[in-house]
Amino acid sequence: MLFSNEFSKIVIFSIFVFCLAILIIILSYFFSPSDPISQKLSSYECGFEPYEDSRNVFDIRFYLIAILFIIFDLEAIYLFPWSISISFLDFDGFFSMIDFILELLAGFFYAWQVRSLDWS
C-alpha cells in the first residue's frame, strides 16, 4: 500500500506537468506576436541566405572557426576536472596536463601566427 501511495504522487505530478506544458504551448501560440519582417528572414551568423539554393558556395572560414572553437573548447573540458583534482595528483599527472596545455598553447600561437583567427 505504501508503494502505491508514493507512486500516485508521481503520477499526479506527471499529469500536472504535462497539462501545464500543453497549456503553455497553446497560450504561447495564441499570444505570441507573429510579425515576419525582413530582419527575421535575412542572413544570420552562418553568412548565407537562409532560403536559397542549398548548393551555394560556403565560405571555409566558418568551418575553420568552428574547428578551432571545438579544439579550444576541449581544453576547457580537460582543464576543469584537472584543476579540481590537482591536489590528489602526483607529479606525472600534473606535468602531463602541463604538457597538454603547452601543446595547446603552441597550436593557438600557430593559429594566431598564420592569421586563421582573423576574419578578414
pTM for the complete prediction? 0.46
Instruction: Decide if 78 contacts 100 (C-beta within 8 A).
Output: yes
pLDDT tens for each residue of 49-63: 656 666 767 677 777
Asked whether the predicted pLDDT for residue 105 surpasses 70, the reply is yes
User: Would you say residue 47 has pLDDT above 70?
Assistant: no
pLDDT at res. 26: 94
Query: Distance of CA 49 to CAs 11, 32, 43, 61, 90, Å?
Result: 47, 25, 5, 16, 53
User: What mean pLDDT value characterizes the chain?
Assistant: 80
pLDDT of residue 72: 79
CATH of domain 61-120: 1.20.58.1610
Helix (H, G, I), strand (E, B) or coil at 69: helix
Q: So where are the chain's domains? A: 1-31, 61-120
Of 23 and 107, the one with more pLDDT: 23
